[in-house]
Structure 1
Amino acid sequence: MCFSPSLLNTAIVAALAVSPGAFASASTDNLPAVTAIERFTVQGDLRQQNAAQLAGSLSVATEQDLARQSVQHLDELLNQFANVNYSAGASRGRFIQVRGIGERSEFVDTINPSVGILIDGIDYSGLGISGISDIAQFEVFRGPEATRFGANALAGMLNLITNGPTDSAEGKASLTLANYDSYQLAGQFSNAINSQWGYSLSLEQQVSDGFIKNTHLNRDDTNNIDEFTGRFKLAFQPGDDLKLQLISHVVDQDNGYDAFSLDRDRTTLSDQPGQDKLRSKALALQADYRGLTFARLQGQLSWLDADMDYGFDEDWSHVGLHPDEYSTTDRYLRDREQLTLDYRLVSNDAGRLGASDWVLGVYAASKEFDLTRQFWNWDLWQADTFASALSRSNLALYTELSTPLFEQLTLVSGLRLERYEDEYADSSANQINNSDTMWGAKLSLNYQPSPQALIYLLASRGYKAGGVNGDALAKAADDNLNELLTKASFAPETLYNAEFGVKGTALDQSLVTRVAAFYMWRQDMQVKGWLNPDSGPQFAGFIDNAGSGRNYGIEIENRLQLHPQFTLMLSASWLKTKLGNYVTLDGDDFSGREQAQAPRFSYNLAADWYLSDALTFNVGLQGKDAFYYSDGHNQRSSRYELLNLRLSYQLQQWQLALWSRNALDQDVGVRGFYFGNDPRDGYEPHLYEQFAEPRRVGLSASYQF
């Protein structure tokens, strides 16, 4: 599958053809309410505005989109979006890539993610997402979003907003049963206490044995899922001008981790299966004040504390497998505490003829990262411990100005200046202080030929912070690893983006089409490097700066109401990437090769067929091209197609659904390593892959009141 200029031209013509009178003859009087294509208001941008009027490539999903594919976790949801990928290396997909840019793992060294995650405005970047049953809206920003989100949005941002308080009592309870001894139990309730106070509560428990069979232990639950998520919101409106909201999150994840197999399938031989645990709690206070004559004051103060316990059986086998065996484990205990503040003034001039609309904001954050690693030290030939502490503070000022040039033409400009300071210390007596001042910007020219169409030209600049390679420093004392002294730290990365886009919506919303073409330049590109000096089980990991990189492509999204009972949705992307000048410490030259986790194409084709007022059939086909697993070796994933099916029946307040995800039972690789780890073949290098879920079949029931 590939995209040509003719396809881009067709999409642009289709978008421009959407005028106020388009599809005016299509009757919607008898359409089921759920078929209407909503006018989404983007919550994550500096100004709340319609998605069709926002310059930039953006996708929005709601609870309906989750139900269509029977989504239970972020992993399944991300497959719906063009040019979005993820990697696991843990019990869940935790690391996100947008347009081929993003991290694939985090071991010893603390990383600044290229694609961040916000839940109700709280920064969960690097932690992943657990429960999503209470989703109100999920937004995927593609491309540099430094002006809005700062250093965590080099390539994009995932923004999730959960359901909040309501004016009257509303609730929902749901239960899902599925194969692999899986169940999901969720409930939400919201209400108003009086005219000033309201609240919402959401609880979710998800349990599964996982999709791995450990033949040595004769268990099928060593890669299990056991996750609890609780969210509470309390809203207070003391007057017409002020709204306050207190948000509380709790996550208790007690998952197993036993995903990699020496036989390169879904059967493992581990005698010491690992774990992937997370205990986190978060609080946020949001304020919205409209009492100023010239501007609206919006802000959030948030706190998060997270304890993680991640570890695995390093040999993936058991004692007695082979005379040349080894038996070790690797464990990472992480503590993270952060305090963030983000306040801004949004002018009251929006919508006033000829007036400029402006935003002025300040952001500050303090983050503490503590690591204790328990591992086998091959140099000392004994169990060892490595500890590190990183203290990072960020301070940023940002502004955005929207200036009408003509009646249909607007210039939007934004700038963000951000300073970060790091204090690093570890048990190897390393103490390093790093600091830098970074800047991001955007400039877009927006032309609206009609209220239903937008054509934009966008230029933007993003950034991410540098850091310290603690793993490399800890192992540099070894005579064989002196070359790691040159990798003590790594520099910030910068990304430049040029983008052209067209968006169009029919007056009756029977057609929505969006297309974006982009070209991105990466400077001081951060890549993950490994040194394996003796071809044994000891690896030294570090983050390196390649010279540059190129990422360019096309993203297309369409929703079409073909018939009052039939809706078709298509999203697709084509992506081309290129590494700059990059030669590894082992001497491998990857200059000019495609970047890791960057599939050439991806697509999502879905249809809603309303067989009757009560019966609905949903079908979805998702595909992704093969991609390189790493920037340090040439092993690739396999191309795949996923078929998802769902048949639901609505009976007043009840809904029953029979569904299947990955109905064709495809093996989908979500993480890959290339090295030797099997003593039975003399530690011959192989591609070892972690796979996503196989065929899933389930039954869901929900009651809404």
Structure 2
Amino acid sequence: MPAHDSGLAVPEVVVTAQRTESLASRTPLAISVLSGEELRDLGADSPGTIGPRLPNLYIDQAFSGLRLTIRGISNSDTTDKGDPSAAFMLDGVYIARPAGQSGNFLDVDRIEVLRGPQGTLYGRNTTAGLVNVISNLPTDRFEGAIGFEAGTYDRRKVDGVINVPVNDMLALRAAVSKLTHDPYLNNGQGTLLRPGMDQDDRDARLSAKLAMGRDATLVLRYDHGQAKGNNDRFVPDTNFYTGVASGTPVYRDSTTDERLTNSFRPPNMTPVQGWQDRVAQGWSADLRWDLGPATLYYLGARRKLDQELRQNYYYRVAPRLALGVINNYDSHNEQDSHELRLATNGASPLSAQGGLYYFSETSDTSYAFQGLQAVGLPPYYAFPLVTEARSRAVFGQLTWRVVDGLRLTAGARRTQDDKDRVGSTDFRQGPVFNAATDRRLLNAAELNTARTTWRLGLDYDLLPTTLLYGSLATGYKAGGFNDGCIAGSTALGIACPAAVAVSESALYYQPEELRAWEAGVKSRLWGGRVTVNAAAFVYDYTNLQLSGTAIVSGAPRILTGNAGVARSRGLELDGDIRVGSNGRLSYGATALDAHYVTYNPTPTASWAGRKLDRAPSHVYTLGYEHRFGVFGGQLYAGVFSRRSAEYVITIPSQLLEYRIPAHTTTDATLRYAPAGGAWSLLARVRNLENSVRPSLIDSFGMTTPTAPRTADVRLDLRF
């Protein structure tokens, strides 16, 4: 009997990476998929926990929000004026702000990670790729589940889902979750303050699926998430490095507890208790209407993000001097998006899809800093700002089946991006601006950019179980602006005299553009018991956008500029092997060369040839799970290990290069499910080595560590 008939084949996965359903093994692009069951077994609660499982992907959770790096391409400006190079989506809805991307996973069906430019079908800010979290839909069965977790660092979690078919037309689904754990960081500052890297989160989603006749379906969703705790997620970079003051950081030996202990005692102030209150909520409507020859799709969404926090910064102002700075942050963000898309049906040699897209975003934020008097600033240094962004696009893609087994694809997208901001840089004597004693500088800019991006592709069925594909695509990310104003401009009743104005070249930065070549093969061998996914790619970036800190008009600002030319090229290999009837081996290997071709971070320094951030030359992964029949049920034992070569995190504006040494991280799981039972028990250990390293380092020396070793048990009950 063939292996695929005997149940020994690696299961096929259905994805929507090309906006229509297809098997992952027949989708001609580099894609990785994690199912909801895999996320549960891994204990992957949030986006920051899935990166180690997937090729050429880093997802880092910083105090300012999520940062995605795919194939060495990232972005470090997480302010309201910045845009990512890789998009994060929830059920196909683009989420603009990194802080809004940090919510916990809730009742997830699968996560699709697409590597490479996806601008034709997905739009803005997808030059490096995208992460799409897809939740479970309501079904026509009454069912439910509840899970309980307990673990180290006093981890406690309870989550549940219930699905109710109301009648033949309407089904409802609700999911909730509550997660808490104690801080991973230690307080060595001599105070009684609670340190950071803790969690106190609550999440909920309500979905409704309405059948409007036989041909149309409408899915409505509402989600709400709240995160509390302490957002002081960082330690000084000197916890990991010596030689920072001399400009040559060297990784130093230390224990995990020492690395996770913040012992910095500010010379200028006493730290205060850090806290945050982040509320994210969204509404969406997803319509699918089968018109016969074609299907009409509409996806509309409105999302809000409100965030208040207080943080204690480690703020290096000179090579050998760091200050304590209190940051008070208040932000209110709203975004709306609408997409109307039409896709042909049937088995015609020519298939097509195309549509219209609109996105708008308004951010009203206020940053206020205290403690910088030592560098000549007043007691309060603040940035009240309002930023607005709008994006409009028209797109289309055609696929032509030339002969059986050979398909050609061509697609294009025209995008118009408009962005503007008005606000000020305030030098205040008190928490509220006083015109009699305080000074205010104008921040005002607007920028309109437009580009046409395109994609050409070819895929060929070499064998019934082997797909070859290749593509040439372009990508684009809009330009933007920094703090400041052009001489002679006026806004909010504030003038911009020449003495404080900045030049257009300093105020604005150019769009980031990409040309990408990719070729790959996907194959299922030995009756589906072995899967192979291999890809080779070459990216050429122009005007890569990089951010850092600089002094403007006597005050520190975050500035973004263009890095000239960068190239990323590499190889990726991953897949699964069924071992006997009870074992499954997963494997992966990547080779990456991502470097600057031309880049001058300062007028006298050239970084040509230097590596981009988080771009190790090679990474290997290996995992194995085995099933045993015991006690009338099934016991699943699994282990997964990832070995990464050295890579760097850089601060170009300060010519600093932090090297992260080669390292290995290993996770282990043990799960028992009785035969025919309605419960299962799971035990997990993550980071068996108990090693931590910097995941992010900013211009001030604030370093976000990775998580230490954690362990927990989970009980699932189903009905």
Structure 1, residues 229-273: CA drift from partner, whole Å, max 9, x if none? 111110110200110111111010113122333461211247224
Can you give the 5+ residue segments of structure 1 that lack an aligned partner in the other structure?
1-23, 318-322, 676-686
Match of 2:155 among 176, 182, 187: 182
Equivalence for 2:231? 257
Q: Kindly state the Cα deviation for residue 163 of structure 1 after the two structures are TM-superposed.
A: 1.2
Equivalence for 1:567? 584
SS at match of 1:366: strand
Q: 1:472 to 1:703 in 2, by over 3 A?
A: farther
Q: Kindly state the Cα deviation for residue 543 of structure 1 after the two structures are TM-superposed.
A: 0.7
Match of 2:694 among 666, 669, 682: 669
Equivalence for 2:344? 347
Match of 2:73 among 101, 120, 128: 101
Equivalent runs, 1:402-421 vs 2, <5 Å: 402-421=399-418
Equivalent runs, 1:616-627 vs 2, <5 Å: 616-627=636-647
Equivalent runs, 1:670-689 vs 2, <5 Å: 670-673=695-698, 689=703
Q: Find out whether 1:284 has 2:297 as its counterpart.
A: no
Q: Kindly state the Cα deviation for residue 29 of structure 1 after the two structures are TM-superposed.
A: 4.1
CA distance in 1, matches of 2:194, 2:682: 27
Q: 1:642 to 1:242 in 2, by over 3 A?
A: same
Q: Kindly state the Cα deviation for residue 171 of structure 1 after the two structures are TM-superposed.
A: 1.1
Q: Kindly state the Cα deviation for residue 630 of structure 1 after the two structures are TM-superposed.
A: 2.2
CA distance in 2, matches of 1:303, 1:585: 42
Q: 1:48 to 1:578 in 2, by over 3 A?
A: same
Q: 1:305 to 1:688 in 2, by over 3 A?
A: closer
**Aligned partners of 1:405 and 1:411 also within 8 Å:** yes
Q: Kindly state the Cα deviation for residue 574 of structure 1 after the two structures are TM-superposed.
A: 1.2
Q: Kindly state the Cα deviation for residue 37 of structure 1 after the two structures are TM-superposed.
A: 3.0
Structure 1, residues 298-332: CA drift from partner, whole Å, max 9, x if none? 11111001112354212479xxxxx9874421233
Equivalence for 1:78? 51
- Give the ranges of 4+ consecutive aligned residues of structure 1 lying more than 6 Å apart after TM superposition: 471-474, 476-485
**Aligned partners of 1:112 and 1:151 also within 8 Å:** no
Equivalent runs, 1:422-571 vs 2, <5 Å: 422-427=419-424, 428-470=441-483, 486-506=505-525, 508-531=527-550, 539-571=556-588
My pick for the range that moved more, 65-74 or 482-491, is: 482-491
CA distance in 1, matches of 2:44, 2:497: 48
Q: Which has the higher contact order (CA 8 A, sep 6+)?
A: 1
SS at match of 1:642: strand
**Aligned partners of 1:116 and 1:158 also within 8 Å:** yes
Q: Kindly state the Cα deviation for residue 441 of structure 1 after the two structures are TM-superposed.
A: 1.1
Equivalence for 1:267? 261
TM-score, normalised with respect to structure 1? 0.87
SS at match of 1:94: strand
Q: Kindly state the Cα deviation for residue 195 of structure 1 after the two structures are TM-superposed.
A: 0.3
CA distance in 1, matches of 2:221, 2:44: 25
SS at match of 2:419: strand
SS at match of 1:102: coil
Q: Kindly state the Cα deviation for residue 558 of structure 1 after the two structures are TM-superposed.
A: 1.0
**Aligned partners of 1:426 and 1:470 also within 8 Å:** no
**Aligned partners of 2:315 and 2:323 also within 8 Å:** no
Q: Find out whether 1:363 has 2:363 as its counterpart.
A: no
**Aligned partners of 1:60 and 1:137 also within 8 Å:** yes
Equivalence for 1:648? 671
2:116 is aligned with what amino acid? Answer: G
1:231 is aligned with what amino acid? Answer: R
Equivalent runs, 1:201-350 vs 2, <5 Å: 201-215=174-188, 216-218=190-192, 221-262=195-236, 264=239, 265-269=259-263, 271-290=271-290, 292-315=291-314, 326-349=323-346
Match of 2:711 among 688, 697, 700: 697
**Aligned partners of 2:481 and 2:508 also within 8 Å:** yes
Q: Kindly state the Cα deviation for residue 189 of structure 1 after the two structures are TM-superposed.
A: 1.1
Equivalence for 1:116? 87
Q: Find out whether 1:47 has 2:70 as its counterpart.
A: no
**Aligned partners of 2:31 and 2:112 also within 8 Å:** yes
Q: Kindly state the Cα deviation for residue 695 of structure 1 after the two structures are TM-superposed.
A: 0.8
CA distance in 1, matches of 2:659, 2:2: 49
My pick for the range that moved more, 426-435 or 583-592, is: 583-592
1:403 is aligned with what amino acid? Answer: W
TM-score, normalised with respect to structure 2? 0.86
Higher strand share: 2
My pick for the range that moved more, 355-364 or 129-138, is: 129-138
Q: Kindly state the Cα deviation for residue 221 of structure 1 after the two structures are TM-superposed.
A: 4.6
**Aligned partners of 1:203 and 1:229 also within 8 Å:** yes
Structure 1, residues 511-547: CA drift from partner, whole Å, max 9, x if none? 211000000000111111332589x9x6322110111
Q: Find out whether 1:615 has 2:635 as its counterpart.
A: yes
CA distance in 2, matches of 1:491, 1:344: 30
Equivalence for 1:151? 124
SS at match of 2:659: coil
Equivalence for 1:679? none
CA distance in 2, matches of 1:391, 1:421: 8
Q: 1:44 to 1:446 in 2, by over 3 A?
A: closer
CA distance in 2, matches of 1:86, 1:587: 33
Q: 1:561 to 1:478 in 2, by over 3 A?
A: farther
| Count of residues in correspondence between the two structures | 653
Structure 1, residues 672-698: CA drift from partner, whole Å, max 9, x if none? 2466xxxxxxxxxxx663211111111
**Aligned partners of 2:106 and 2:204 also within 8 Å:** no
Equivalence for 1:10? none
SS at match of 2:272: coil
SS at match of 2:178: strand
Percentage identity across paired residues of the two chains: 21
2:618 is aligned with what amino acid? Answer: F
**Aligned partners of 2:484 and 2:501 also within 8 Å:** no
Equivalence for 1:11? none
Q: Kindly state the Cα deviation for residue 80 of structure 1 after the two structures are TM-superposed.
A: 0.3
1:616 is aligned with what amino acid? Answer: Y
CA distance in 1, matches of 2:690, 2:4: 40
SS at match of 1:580: strand
Q: Kindly state the Cα deviation for residue 643 of structure 1 after the two structures are TM-superposed.
A: 1.0
Q: Kindly state the Cα deviation for residue 477 of structure 1 after the two structures are TM-superposed.
A: 9.1
Q: 1:284 to 1:208 in 2, by over 3 A?
A: same
CA distance in 1, matches of 2:565, 2:322: 41
1:357 is aligned with what amino acid? Answer: S
Q: Kindly state the Cα deviation for residue 669 of structure 1 after the two structures are TM-superposed.
A: 1.9
Equivalence for 2:607? 590
**Aligned partners of 1:370 and 1:389 also within 8 Å:** yes
Structure 1, residues 572-605: CA drift from partner, whole Å, max 9, x if none? 2111011132222474332221111222222321
Structure 1, residues 390-416: CA drift from partner, whole Å, max 9, x if none? 111111000000001121111011100
Give the superposed CA RMSD: 2.7
Structure 1, residues 105-145: CA drift from partner, whole Å, max 9, x if none? 524x5212111111112222422232214110100000000
Match of 2:658 among 605, 626, 635: 635
CA distance in 2, matches of 1:357, 1:113: 31
1:365 is aligned with what amino acid? Answer: F
